[in-house]
């Protein structure tokens, strides 16, 4: 029996590719203004959120945790809109926003690792790493100096690679 998440495996692939591309853009231009990162991340999170909401509603009849998928998408979209609507303010609070998003996504992966679907080990490792980096970004201002762009790119790269690998496991 094929569920809707498996049928739409390519949506998770698209999300993963978007996150990897964002990471590459950030790695390529770490000296650029933080406002540019705000725009990149706002667009990327909005598109990724739309993808996850679509996936969640596609899975409504087949998965018990479809609501968490939708919630992830809603949080991505809210974070994306905040980043794009108020870029100067967002740049000032970007570490907390990115850290919160990373922490939430990491906890989601850890919880989902025990749902019995997909690769438990991969979800658990990606989730734990994402939670650690998310907390580090939120609560360690020393780390936020010149390395903010690098940590954001690492976080996006981990999430992107996980999503690409997970999409192929659904295929």
> Domain residues of the chain, as ranges?
4-170
The C-alpha R_g of the chain, in whole angstroms, comes to: 15
Distance, in Å, from the CA atom of 65 to the CA atom of 115, rounded to the nearest integer, reads 9
Q: What is the pLDDT along the chain (171 residues), one digit of tens a residue?
A: 346 667 778 888 888 888 888 888 777 776 565 677 778 788 989 999 999 999 889 888 888 888 888 998 999 999 899 888 987 777 777 778 778 888 998 998 899 888 777 778 888 998 999 999 888 878 875 556 556 777 778 888 888 888 888 888 877
Distance, in Å, from the CA atom of 17 to the CA atom of 159, rounded to the nearest integer, reads 10
Residue 38 in tokens: 């705000």
End-to-end CA distance of the chain: 13
Residues 6+ apart with CB under 8 A from 123: 109, 110, 112, 113, 162, 166
Please report the pLDDT score of residue 3 as a whole number. Answer: 63
Please report the pLDDT score of residue 146 as a whole number. Answer: 52
Please report the pLDDT score of residue 5 as a whole number. Answer: 64
């Amino acid at each position: 029996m094929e569920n809707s998440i498996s049928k739409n495996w390519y949506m998770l692939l698209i999300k993963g590719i978007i996150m990897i591309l964002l990471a590459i853009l950030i790695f390529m231009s770490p000296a650029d203004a933080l406002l540019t990162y705000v725009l990149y991340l706002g667009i990327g999170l909005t598109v990724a959120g739309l993808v996850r909401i679509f996936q969640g509603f596609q899975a409504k009849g087949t998965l018990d945790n479809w609501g968490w998928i939708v919630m992830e998408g809603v949080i991505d979209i809210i974070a994306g809109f905040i980043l794009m609507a108020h870029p100067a303010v967002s740049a000032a609070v970007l570490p907390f926003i990115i850290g919160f998003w990373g922490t939430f996504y990491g906890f989601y992966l850890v919880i989902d690792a025990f749902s019995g679907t997909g690769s438990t080990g991969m979800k658990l490792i990606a989730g734990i790493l994402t939670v650690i980096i998310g907390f580090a970004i939120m609560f360690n201002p020393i780390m936020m100096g010149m390395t903010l762009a690098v940590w954001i790119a690492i976080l996006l790269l981990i999430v992107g690679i996980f999503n690409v690998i997970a999409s192929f496991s659904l295929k």
